[in-house]
Amino acid sequence: MEILDASAWRCPLPLLRVKLWLKAAEAGQQLRLLLRDSGSRQDIPAYVSRMGHAVEVLADDGEMLILMITKAS
C-alpha cells in the first residue's frame, strides 16, 4: 500500500497525482490518500468511483479526509 499525503495541495494537483497513480498502478494495488482541499474532497471520490475503482472513506473529521483507493482490474 502506498500513501499520498496531498493535504497541503489544492485542486487540481491532488486529482492529477491520483490519475498518475492509477495509470501506473496494477490491479489490486491500494493508495491511502489524505486530503484537506474542499474541491478535492468532493471531486476525487466521485472520479475514482466513476472510473470503476473502489474508494473507501477511512476517516473524515470535517477537516481531513482519508481515503483508501483500490485499483480495479
Specify which residues 3 forms β-bridges with: 32
Specify which residues 30 forms β-bridges with: 70
* 30-57 confidence digits (pLDDT tens): 999 999 999 999 999 999 999 999 999 9
| CATH number of the domain bearing residue 55 | 3.30.110.40
Q: Quick one: pLDDT band at residue 59, thresholds 50, 70, 90?
A: very high
Domain containing 58: what range?
Answer: 2-70
Handedness of CA 35, 38, 41, 46 (dihedral sign): negative
**Residue 2: what pLDDT?**
97
Residue with cell 489524505: 34
Q: In whole angstroms, give the CA distance from residue 63 to residue 2.
A: 22
* 12-33 confidence digits (pLDDT tens): 999 999 999 999 999 999 999 9
Q: Provide the domain count of the chain.
A: 1
Evaluate if pTM is beyond 0.75.
yes
**Residue 30: what pLDDT?**
98
Q: How many CB atoms lie within 10 A of CB 6?
A: 20
